[in-house]
């Protein structure tokens, strides 16, 4: 598989139907053996660099959530900070950053979770949202599901209703999507890739 994204659909005739999810998928680059041997890293930077691809991606999310009666979009550190604020702006909602530990300046609540190689912690401001606020959590991909699960727990601790988790990519073989669904979190992903 080439490392460069396929761009054939960029030159489709005017008026030709667009397979939006397929188009988004075609803009994601696979980098083999990064950050370590055996890993197939799914790089979204080509997708972000292309104006049409970025518009199609955001429009997919907007269409998904335009009638969801949300109060906030929460973005997971770090790539959820790219998509989340744009989506919040398009939906006329507030944005909640869920950050790695030690990055937020005000009083926080935190949640730790396990990774394949250790543990990590994320935090949210204690006043980020309140009881009954409806929130969607956004990230670039779902791998093991740990970060999104921690974000869900943080939001729920503040009383929010987490309506759905959303990501560009699902890596189903890593089991995160299954774990999240079993924990009661509905998921929306634009595309998926096999392998790690």
* Domain range summary for the chain, segments of one domain joined by +: 57-192
Instruction: Report d(CA 171, CA 123) in Å as an integer.
Output: 24
Q: Which of 25, 29, 111, 116 is catalytic?
A: 116
CB 46 within 8 A of CB 27: yes
Neighbours of 193 (CB within 10 A): 16
CB 165 within 8 A of CB 143: no
Instruction: Report d(CA 79, CA 70) in Å as an integer.
Output: 21
Q: Cα torsion at 150, 31, 29, 178 (round to 10°)?
A: -30
- Claim: this prediction has a pTM higher than 0.85: yes
| 79 tagged catalytic | yes
Q: Which of 79, 99, 111, 123 is catalytic?
A: 79
Q: What is the mean pLDDT of the chain?
A: 92
Instruction: Report d(CA 136, CA 187) in Å as an integer.
Output: 10
Q: Cα torsion at 10, 11, 17, 21 (round to 10°)?
A: -20
Q: In which band, very low, low, confident or very high, does the pLDDT at 8 lie, cut at 50, 70 and 90?
A: very low
Q: Is the pLDDT of residue 4 over 60?
A: no
Give 98-149 pLDDT, tens digit per residue.
999 999 999 999 999 987 678 999 999 999 999 999 999 999 999 999 999 9
| 116 tagged catalytic | yes
| Top-level class of domain 57-192 | alpha beta
Q: Is the pLDDT of residue 3 over 60?
A: no
Give 31-74 pLDDT, tens digit per residue.
999 988 989 999 999 999 999 999 999 999 999 999 999 999 99
Instruction: Report d(CA 58, CA 93) in Å as an integer.
Output: 14
Q: In which band, very low, low, confident or very high, does the pLDDT at 2 lie, cut at 50, 70 and 90?
A: very low
pLDDT of residue 118: 80
Instruction: Report d(CA 177, CA 149) in Å as an integer.
Output: 10
Backbone dihedral angles phi then psi of residue 59, each to the nearest 5 degrees = -65, -35
pLDDT of residue 17: 64
């Amino acid at each position: 598989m080439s490392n460069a994204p396929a761009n054939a659909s960029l030159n489709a005739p005017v008026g030709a139907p667009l397979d939006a999810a397929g188009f988004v998928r075609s803009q994601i680059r696979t980098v083999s053996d990064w950050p370590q041997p055996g890993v197939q890293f799914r790089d979204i930077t080509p997708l972000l660099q292309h104006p049409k691809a970025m518009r199609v991606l955001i429009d997919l999310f907007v269409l998904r959530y335009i009638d969801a009666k949300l109060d906030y979009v929460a973005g997971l550190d770090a790539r959820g900070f790219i998509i989340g604020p744009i989506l919040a702006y398009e939906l006329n909602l507030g944005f909640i950053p869920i950050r790695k530990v030690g990055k937020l300046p005000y009083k926080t609540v935190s949640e730790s979770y396990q990774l394949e190689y250790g543990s990590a912690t994320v935090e949210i401001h204690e006043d980020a949202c309140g009881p009954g606020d409806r929130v969607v959590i956004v990230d670039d991909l779902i791998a093991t599901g740990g970060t999104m699960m921690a974000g869900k727990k943080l939001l729920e601790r503040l009383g929010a209703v987490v309506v759905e988790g959303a990501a560009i990519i699902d890596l189903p073989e890593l089991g995160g999507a299954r774990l999240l669904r079993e924990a009661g979190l509905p998921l929306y992903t634009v595309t998926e890739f096999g392998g790690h």
